[in-house]
Structure 1
Amino acid sequence: MFIALLIGVLAYRVAERTAEDFYLASRTFGTVVLLFTTFATLLSAFTFFAGPNVAYAEGPEWVLVMGLMDGIIFAILWYLIGYKQWLLGQQHEYVTLGEMLGDRFASRRLRGLVAGVSLLWLFPYVMLQQVGAGTALEALTEGAVPYAVGAGLITLFMILYVVVAGMRGIAWTDTLQGAFMLVTTWLAMVWVLAVVGGPSVATGALEAEAAHHLALGSDHYTPQWMLSTAITIGFGVAMFPQVNQRFFAAGSRTVLKRSFALWPILCVLLFVPSFMLGAWARGLDVSIAEGENVLPAMLAEFTPTWFAALVIAGAMAAMMSSSDSMLLSGSSYFTRDLYRPYLEMDLSERREDLIARVGVVLFATGAFVASLYNPATLFELGDAAFSGFAQLALPVLVALYWRRTTRAGITAGIAVSQVFYLSSLFTAVVPSTYGGWTAGLVGMGVGLLVTVVVSLVTSPAADERRAIYFEGLRAD
């Protein structure tokens, strides 16, 4: 945390006092920084705690969902959505997804809808990081640092860091933290396997305890569930504000293309050791109390305390990397897509910069207060947010590539799919599964259908700028 703060101060000293620099580091990222800042931003409490917990309870097929399928799906979307967003951002200086869509469809309402939906789903995911931080510190210190204190300390640090550092500092520390967590996770796996006698011994113990964990598929890992989860997570990631904005920040098209080509490799390199540790713990008689996470317990059982602390520090780095990026993106969506269009259109760069930093404080504080009530498990929080963001993806993809898309079509597609998915979570009117397929995936199909049908039966508004997504863009 101290090193990260020093980097943040350095970034503050070299940064320009403009909104574009605060949000996008003036669009100057190189390949290593873009790749690792995206990597570290995504690898959150969900990766280090929820994923290994599922692998412990249900088996290691979770690696196929998160490590393999999602890595490939997101890399494809990075090209289909991210590359075109980068081209548009270079030409029109967009900072947020709402700006890009609002300009094309000449709609302040659409811009506000995209921002509102994004903030709605971003809030529980920020809370997820705080819940993960609080539970990790409480478990690691055996209660000496209570849950609320741990979550509060991380929240205070995130606020201080984001307000000072902006995107430039966040990206620099993400690169450091991403490399750190990758190395420590592999060291953890190697250390544990060395203690127990190697991968064959660990796998043999797992087979003796839970042989079904070594067979592909189960009552939990049905083909429908695995495909639904992989698709909603992959498409949801592409719409995460903190990820989506990085599509605008690449320094060149070469940087962007190298990054998405390398992405699946990085995913496999991280998810394999973290999820396999969770699965092997089942056969190694690691006792997991109800409500606890398997990874800290596994490390406490087979490695020295100092090393366990080092690996959990890697997990904490992941949580901070995710949270600080989320706070920054949430602030930009609020400032540029809600505050400026609806309250103060003639906003100076200096004033927008100030409002953005105040927005970080308010958003983080609200999420922390909510995290004290811990209303759902880590997996449920993360899964809800992934599927919620996924509802945006297909209407956006259609708008980027289909000239016939209308303002009414994309607005209806986004609104109807969000109402459908929210209803599946909070009411009994909409079922949560359809023959094994999740409501999140079905909602994506509903959003696509509504976007296309409504666009076909409505005429483009007179002030829509239909050509800007297709003309004057140099692509190869």
Structure 2
Amino acid sequence: MVSALGVQLGVVGAYLVVALAVGLLAYRLTSRDAEDYYLAGRSIGTVVLLFTTFATLLSAFTFFGGPDLAYRAGPEWILVMGVMDGVLFAILWYVVGYKQWLVGRAHGYVTLGEMLGDRFGSTRLRAVVAGISLFWLFPYVMLQQMGAGEAIVGLTNGMVPYWAGAAGITVFMIAYVVIAGLRGVAWTDTLQGLFMLGVVWLAVGWVAAAAGGPTALSNALATNEPEFLALGGGVYSPQFIISSAVTIAFGVAMFPQINQRFFVAKSSAVLKRSFALWPVLVVLLFVPAFILGTWAAGLGVAVPEGANVLPVLLNEYTPVWFAALVIAGAMAAMMSSSDSMLLSGSSYFTRDLYRPFVNPDASDAREAWLARIGVALFATLTFVASLFRPGTLVSVGDTAFGGFAQMALPVIVALYWSRTTRSGMFAGILGSQAFYLAHVFVPAIEVGSMTLFGPTYLTWDYALWGMALSALLTVGVSAMTAAAPEENQSRFTDGLRAD
């Protein structure tokens, strides 16, 4: 058992060290100016842009939360993440991302708040966007640390405690972001995206062969979990599937680490090729990952409390070194998500809060070091919070997605409707956030036959109602108010050229 533990920890550690070495190489090629540190000089090509976006989304929510949900409730989660969000996010990448790339290229924006604050002549709007983004980023970074801790528990059968896995990934992601910047993050993301595609399909083949082949797996599923062979049922109502797909896709478009990637493509052709290929890449990874969770249920795999199904399944049906390699890759993918989140979050803090309100004349070097200190502090705080484990990976992630999704429609309205006003933006963003936060934190109240602050209204998730409210307030208040003298609508219309 000790030798197996040594192999497991050795493989995981070696993989993470390789990822860190890529970051060191990138550091030598990254200039010290803020645009290169945060956006890699807006020089990213198709393959790297596609895979850095892909690996940035390979979080604990996807790689461990998804198989866990498939294990408990059935494989329809593939429809939400593998198909519906693959297509929905690709559409949003065009609707939001292409217009944002044009605007960012024309005016040199680094963050979403910077872009909106300049358009509407408001540092307060810039701060509101940054503050809300950092607020919802906190639980999603914490989610990666929770996933790493649970993965180590499952891989080592509890011999290594939860806190050690969470602490390990925290140390690595702080070191990586402090060293590498976006260029290093993007390079490592590409390496890890390609690696995970290969290894997850190998895992599917290995487990299928060890379990007796596809026919044996289907028979086991039909015997032990027959309801998994029928579409829908259980938690997978049409309302759940649609609500989850919509809030996740729109939330992803507002994630700081994803939204900033809308600025980094070196040409319009790169951007268009990337979002056209996106659905294919998503299906290629998510389908096998969620199938493994489903197979585990059919095979009767027992998952210890505090562990994830994937490492337990792999430990049972594949060699120790291979199971460790898959989990190492998954942890590195979580680190890819975390380092991107921390890097983007630091840019939101320094450029949208520190510069406008504390030190407008700060040098790029001072900003860069302040960002690194912020990364270390933010990651440490999320690690402490992760020790309390405030929910499942899916529930924590879904809450963060919904919070980000509340900003999506006001941003889309601002990008495409020239009559949008500053007052409309404040109303749409703050109104929907207040509605959403109340439903997250206020207990449900029964008023006659109605339930206030409950999970649904008319069977639809409250996050969708919040999104509808955000659009209604943005458009309605904008229609009733005049633009302030400082607003500059031409920022989103004039001088926008593709190449």
* Class of the TM-score when normalised by the shorter of the 2 chains: over 0.9
Question: Hey, what's the Cα distance between the residues in 2 that align with 1:142 and 1:93?
Answer: 50
1:88 aligns with 2:103: yes
1:457 aligns with 2:480: yes
Q: Within 5 Å, give how 1:318-397 maps onto structure 2.
A: 318-397=333-412
Match of 2:376, as an amino acid?
Answer: V
Is the contact made by 1:131 and 1:374 (CA closer than 8 Å) also made in structure 2?
Answer: yes
Given candidates 453, 457, 469, the residue that maps to 1:434 is: 457
Partner residue of 1:207?
Answer: 222
The runs of 4+ residues in structure 1 deviating greater than 4 Å are: none
Alpha-carbon distance, 1:471 to partner? 1.7
> Secondary structure of the equivalent of 2:491?
coil
> What are the superposed Cα offsets for residues 224-259 of structure 1, whole Å, 9 maximum, x if unpaired?
110000000000000000000011011111110000
Partner residue of 1:119?
Answer: 134
Question: Hey, what's the Cα distance between the residues in 2 that align with 1:90 and 1:435?
Answer: 43
Partner residue of 2:13?
Answer: none
Q: Greater shift after overlay, 238-247 or 295-304?
A: 295-304
1:310 aligns with 2:333: no
Match of 1:339, as an amino acid?
Answer: Y
Alpha-carbon distance, 1:474 to partner? 2.1
Alpha-carbon distance, 1:145 to partner? 2.1
> What are the superposed Cα offsets for residues 137-183 of structure 1, whole Å, 9 maximum, x if unpaired?
12212233221122112111111111010111010000001111111
Question: Hey, what's the Cα distance between the residues in 1 that align with 2:228 and 2:296?
Answer: 12
Is the contact made by 1:432 and 1:439 (CA closer than 8 Å) also made in structure 2?
Answer: yes
Question: Hey, what's the Cα distance between the residues in 2 that align with 1:442 and 1:201?
Answer: 44
Is the contact made by 2:154 and 2:304 (CA closer than 8 Å) also made in structure 1?
Answer: no
Is the contact made by 1:390 and 1:444 (CA closer than 8 Å) also made in structure 2?
Answer: yes
Question: Hey, what's the Cα distance between the residues in 1 that align with 2:397 and 2:119?
Answer: 31
Alpha-carbon distance, 1:212 to partner? 1.3
Match of 1:454, as an amino acid?
Answer: V
1:469 aligns with 2:477: no
Is the contact made by 1:181 and 1:317 (CA closer than 8 Å) also made in structure 2?
Answer: no
Partner residue of 2:67?
Answer: 52
Q: Within 5 Å, give how 1:101-140 maps onto structure 2.
A: 101-140=116-155
Alpha-carbon distance, 1:9 to partner? 1.1
Match of 2:477, as an amino acid?
Answer: V
> What are the superposed Cα offsets for residues 89-146 of structure 1, whole Å, 9 maximum, x if unpaired?
1110000000000000001111010001000100000000001111111221223322
Is the contact made by 2:83 and 2:283 (CA closer than 8 Å) also made in structure 1?
Answer: yes
> What are the superposed Cα offsets for residues 173-211 of structure 1, whole Å, 9 maximum, x if unpaired?
000011111111110001011112222221221111121
Partner residue of 2:299?
Answer: 284
* Structure 2 residues not aligned, in runs of 5+: 1-15, 445-451
Alpha-carbon distance, 1:475 to partner? 4.6
Match of 1:446, as an amino acid?
Answer: L
Partner residue of 1:178?
Answer: 193
1:70 aligns with 2:93: no
> What are the superposed Cα offsets for residues 354-376 of structure 1, whole Å, 9 maximum, x if unpaired?
11111111111111111111122
Q: Within 5 Å, give how 1:191-206 maps onto structure 2.
A: 191-206=206-221
Question: Hey, what's the Cα distance between the residues in 1 that align with 2:311 and 2:28?
Answer: 37
Question: Hey, what's the Cα distance between the residues in 1 that align with 2:85 and 2:494?
Answer: 32
Match of 1:471, as an amino acid?
Answer: D
Partner residue of 2:31?
Answer: 16
Question: Hey, what's the Cα distance between the residues in 1 that align with 2:322 and 2:441?
Answer: 42
Count of matched residue positions in the alignment of Structure 1 and Structure 2: 476
Question: Hey, what's the Cα distance between the residues in 2 that align with 1:435 and 1:215?
Answer: 25
Q: Greater shift after overlay, 276-285 or 424-433?
A: 424-433
Partner residue of 1:263?
Answer: 278
Give the aligned CA root-mean-square deviation in angstroms: 1.1
Q: TM-score, normalised by structure 2?
A: 0.94
Alpha-carbon distance, 1:314 to partner? 1.5
Question: Hey, what's the Cα distance between the residues in 2 that align with 1:144 and 1:417?
Answer: 45
> Secondary structure of the equivalent of 2:131?
helix
Match of 1:24, as an amino acid?
Answer: L
Question: Hey, what's the Cα distance between the residues in 1 that align with 2:176 and 2:304?
Answer: 34
Partner residue of 1:244?
Answer: 259
Match of 1:29, as an amino acid?
Answer: I
> Secondary structure of the equivalent of 1:245?
helix
Question: Hey, what's the Cα distance between the residues in 1 that align with 2:171 and 2:331?
Answer: 14
Match of 1:350, as an amino acid?
Answer: A
Alpha-carbon distance, 1:285 to partner? 1.5
Q: Greater shift after overlay, 193-202 or 398-407?
A: 193-202
Question: Hey, what's the Cα distance between the residues in 1 that align with 2:71 and 2:19?
Answer: 32
